[in-house]
Structure 1
């Protein structure tokens, strides 16, 4: 059981912290789709792929003192920032070497906005469809976000970059 918790701590430590609950959800989902062994199950939700299991594990890790959850008041909303505590680093080190074969993927994902990761994760959620059908589905379920052709193309290029990294 704690192995799954350790993977989340390892990922957040490798990413050097993650700002945003939605962003963290999408980062883990994208890594999972790239065959990184995250166990959390995902379903499609308001903001795209979402895992109740991941939310529960994050809360448990905060309760155990392995993660710090800081609230940042942004005026019209609150944003959460997750960082690994010193106890979390000890926990991570006790488990052994990082399980991430390509740790730079964490940094690449963390450099993207939550909006972009929502777009990318949604396209991945429908990766069983051909590209044209994926885009149609994206516009169907995310029409209010008005993703442009340029944003969609950037997401596909980014997925190609991550896929290439996986095989490097």
Structure 2
């Protein structure tokens, strides 16, 4: 059971911390869609794919002292930053080898904005459709975000770039 927790600690460690709950959700989802063996179940939610299981695991990891959660008041909202603690690194070592085949995957994901990851995750959520249909679905469920053709093209290129790193 705790092996799934260790995978999350491993990922946050490789990413050298993650800023944003939504961003962490999308990063794990994208990797799962790329074949990384995360077990969390996802459903489509307001901000795209969302896992209640991942939220619960992060909370448990914070409670166990393996991950720290820092809150930063941004005025109109609060932003969360997750880092692995020293105890978390020891816990992560129990996993053995890393959950990621290439640590660069974590870095590449962490370089992207939450908005871009939301776009990418949403496209991957509809990856069982042809590309034109994926884009149509994106515009239906995320119309208010006004994603441009250029952003959508960049997301598809990013998916390809990540898949090469697998």
TM-score by length of 2: 0.99
SS of 1:81 mapped into structure 2: strand
List gaps (5 residues or longer) in structure 1: none
CA displacement, residues 66-85 of structure 1 (integer Å, 9 cap, x when unaligned): 00000011111100000000
State whether structure 2 residue 67 is matched by structure 1 residue 67.
Answer: yes
State whether structure 2 residue 108 is matched by structure 1 residue 108.
Answer: yes
CA displacement, residues 37-87 of structure 1 (integer Å, 9 cap, x when unaligned): 000000000000000000000000000000000001111110000000010
CA displacement, residues 76-124 of structure 1 (integer Å, 9 cap, x when unaligned): 1100000000100111113322121111000000000000000000000
SS of 1:5 mapped into structure 2: helix
Partner of 1:42: 42
State whether structure 2 residue 29 is matched by structure 1 residue 29.
Answer: yes
Q: Distance in 2 between matches of 1:95 and 1:140?
A: 41
Within 5 Å, which residues of 2 pair with 1:1-168?
1-166=1-166
Q: Distance in 2 between matches of 1:99 and 1:38?
A: 8
Q: Distance in 2 between matches of 1:50 and 1:93?
A: 27
List gaps (5 residues or longer) in structure 2: none
Matched residues, number = 166
TM-score by length of 1: 0.97
Q: Distance in 2 between matches of 1:3 and 1:67?
A: 15
CA RMSD of aligned residues (A): 0.6
Q: Distance in 2 between matches of 1:74 and 1:52?
A: 25
